[in-house]
Structure formats: structure tokens, C-alpha cells
Structure 1
């Protein structure tokens, strides 16, 4: 089955692997990201795999620009089958040095940006549509040295539960995959393997749907 996929927060790691994975299945892959060079490389990878690619440079914390970018991509492909949300902010500050403004800035990207992405994508999604999120063990076992990351991952995991609850009657489901390990170049926590876990999450049985799936390698 070919799918039209939108990846918000596209980068060289897990989201890049996910883009290439979906590209290998055909369909269309839309990429939203903040690094023009990375987007160009990913777009080339998608097209080399024989899929249709589109990319837009956008600051996902800019609500208006994000909505416009998602809408343009939705209008271009006609419908969206999978929306994947990937971004988070890594700031090495503990709770004694992290300011309120810094925390809110990070949460705006790692949690809040999911709202305009989802709301703009919703008119292009129908039964069978899926929303996926790259989760992290930082949600429940945070490292104090990067305190805002744990708040982001806990927040976005919680938000996914609400998204699924509000969309499931329309046949659209949401899931976050909690990566319980540190990303590495090789082994079970290599980006390609984490991407496979995210890809597999959309095929789970709807009668036994889980909105949070741990990936422990």
C-alpha cells in the first residue's frame, strides 16, 4: 500500500530514516524542516527511491508558517495518510539554571508545534489515517542536565493520548513510540531500526490499539 506521508521536523536521524523507509514503499513524502541542506539531501534520497518528494523550510514554532506549509502539501497530494511529528529541543540546563522562558521556548517546539501540524493536516486525513510521534524514555526517566527535554517528551506523549481519543471515532489513530535507549550509529538503536518501529506502529490492530508503544531494541 502506497501512502502520502508528511514528516514534521525532518532531520538526518530517525526522521530521515523514516522518510527513506516510506519512500521505498512508493507514494509521496513531504518534509518540513529547519535545515535547507538536510532537506535537500533527504528529498534526493526520497526521489532516488522512486517516490515523489516535497520539502519546505519552516520554523515549526511559527504557527502561521507551519499551518501554511502543511496546507500547501495537503493540497498538492490531495490527502495525507500518515503525519509524523519528530522535533524536540535539546538544551543542556538543569532546573537550577533553566529559565521559564527557555522552558516555554523548548516546549513550544517539542509539544506545541504538534497542534498546528495536526490541525492543518486534519482536513486532508480520512479513515485509516495515522499520526505518529517520536517519543523518548526522557518522558518518565529524564536526565536532570537537560530538564526541558523530559518535559517535552512527557508532554507530547500525553498529547498523543488526547489526539487519539478525539480522532478515533473518525477512523484516525495516533501513537507515540517511546525509544528506551540512546540513539547510536549501529545496533538496535540505530536510526534505521527506530524508524522501523515507528513504521510498524501504524499497522497495529485497531481493536487493540495502543497510543504509546515502548521500543527497547
Structure 2
């Protein structure tokens, strides 16, 4: 599948946009002709990222919101869909890193983290769905923590296993409509150099979105 623009410029909405992988994803898709919607909690971060992509609001639009606030996040994604008139790729990036082992982690803390790392995907997809048509894609930044959880940050593995499971459900649900979902499991630690830089991971996510629908995989490992 080609991700090149056709009649109108395609649109990517990046949820939890920031300076790491999500920022690299936003810039890479912009380089391939996509207009970009950025959803993030930090006004400074989101606006700096937007300014680094384009100054024209027809090309990039920032939305500052806590994605765990269902009503506010729904409104933010809806505004982007209405402003651009379409959403071709929804990229979901957030997770919570809480340095607590399973004997010190409280239930409330676990549920709070899962609300960010898993629940916010539901909010984002449900808000984006009216603006997505056949050929649209949902991509998610996954992690080896789904398979090899660290007890030092017990909630992270739960989030990553949960979001990967949810992606598979979304893909099965939306497949008849021509919309596909994929998580890219990053089997390494992000770094400033080498195979696990944010830019390299972004390239893997771009490739995952462009895979052949007839040979689609809802989970792709990135080994670097």
C-alpha cells in the first residue's frame, strides 16, 4: 500500500505528541505529504513540535489536552477531524512509567496508568472513527515490556500487553470496513544513537502502516 497523497493530502493525528518517537512519527509522515494533528498535554512541547513541522495551520494543528480526560480528548480529536476533514492515520504513543514493583503498586495507581496507556486508545479511536474511511490505519508504539515485564515498573508491562491486545481487537472489528490497526513492539531501549533512535522506530511504524492489507499483521516486532 502506498501512503502517498492522492486527491487530497492525507492526515495523521498523533496522540501524546512529544519529543521522542511520537515527534519523529509526526515529522516523518509530514515529510511524506501528510497534514499533522498533534494531541498532547504540554502546551510548550506540542507547540514547539508543531512549529518544527510547519507554521501553516492548514498543515499542522496542535491540541493541548490530557488524553485521560475522555470528554476533553474526544473533543480535541473531533476538532482535528473536522478541521482537516479526514483522518487517515491515528498514531497512539502514550504510556506511564511508574517505578513501583507489584508489591508496592496500588490498584488505583495501576488503573490510573492503564487509563493512559490503554484506555486513551479507546477514546482516540472512537473519536477519530467518524473521520476514517477504508484505507485508514491505526498505529501504536508497543514495547518488549508486554512480553518481558520488569518488576521495577510493574504497570508498564500491563499497559503494553493490554494495548497490544486492544489493537488486535480493533483490527478484527474494523477490518471489514478496510481500516486496519497495528502495534509495533520495540524490542530494545530507546537511545540517541544506534538502531533504537526515535527516528528509526518511526520508520518501522511508517512501514507497518504501509504493509500489504492482504498480508496484514496486527503486531510487528521491531528488532532494530
What is the aligned partner in structure 1 of residue 206 from structure 2?
A: 199
Q: Answer yes or no: is 1:23 the counterpart of 2:39.
A: no
Alpha-carbon offset, residue 131 of structure 1: 0.2
In 2, Cα distance between equivalents of 1:6 and 1:103: 27
Say whether residues 1:116 and 2:123 are aligned partners.
Answer: yes
Answer with 21-30 or 142-151: which moved more.
21-30
Equivalent position of 2:82 in the other structure: 75
- Does the aligned pair in 2 maintain the 1:27–1:51 contact within 8 Å? no
Show the counterpart of 2:73: 66
Deviation of 1:51 (Å): 7.6
RMSD: 1.3
> Does 2:196 match 1:189?
yes
Count of matched residue positions in the alignment of Structure 1 and Structure 2: 217
Aligned mates of 1:29, 1:75 — CA distance in 2 = 13
2:109 to 97, 102, 111: 102
| 5+ long unaligned stretches in structure 2 | none
- Using the TM superposition, give the Cα deviation of residue 41 of structure 1 relative to its aligned residue in structure 2, in angstroms: 1.3
Q: What is the TM-score when the length of structure 1 is the normalising length?
A: 0.98
- Shift, 1:45, TM fit: 1.4
Of stretches 40-49 and 66-75 in structure 1, the one that deviates more from structure 2 is 40-49
Look up the SS of the partner of 1:5 in the other structure.
strand
The question of 1:161 aligning with 2:183 is answered no
Q: Which runs of 5+ in 1 are unaligned?
A: none
Please give the alpha-carbon distance, in whole angstroms, between the structure 2 residues aligned to 1:176 and 1:94. Answer: 25
How many Å separate the matches in 2 of 1:90 and 1:4?
29
**1:7 counterpart = 2:23:** no
Tell me the residue number matched to 1:140: 147
CA deviation map 1:154-192 (0-9, x unaligned): 000000000000000000000000000000001100000
Q: Which residue of 1 aligns with 2:180?
A: 173
> Offset of 1:48 from its aligned partner?
6.4
Q: Quick one: structure 1 residues 144 and 73, their matched pair in 2 at CA, closer, same or farther if it must change by over 3 Å?
A: same
Contact 1:10 1:33 in 2 (8 A): yes
Deviates more, 1:124-133 or 1:200-209: 200-209
| 1:98-148 deviation digits (Å, cap 9, x = unpaired) | 000000000000000111100010000000000000000000101110000
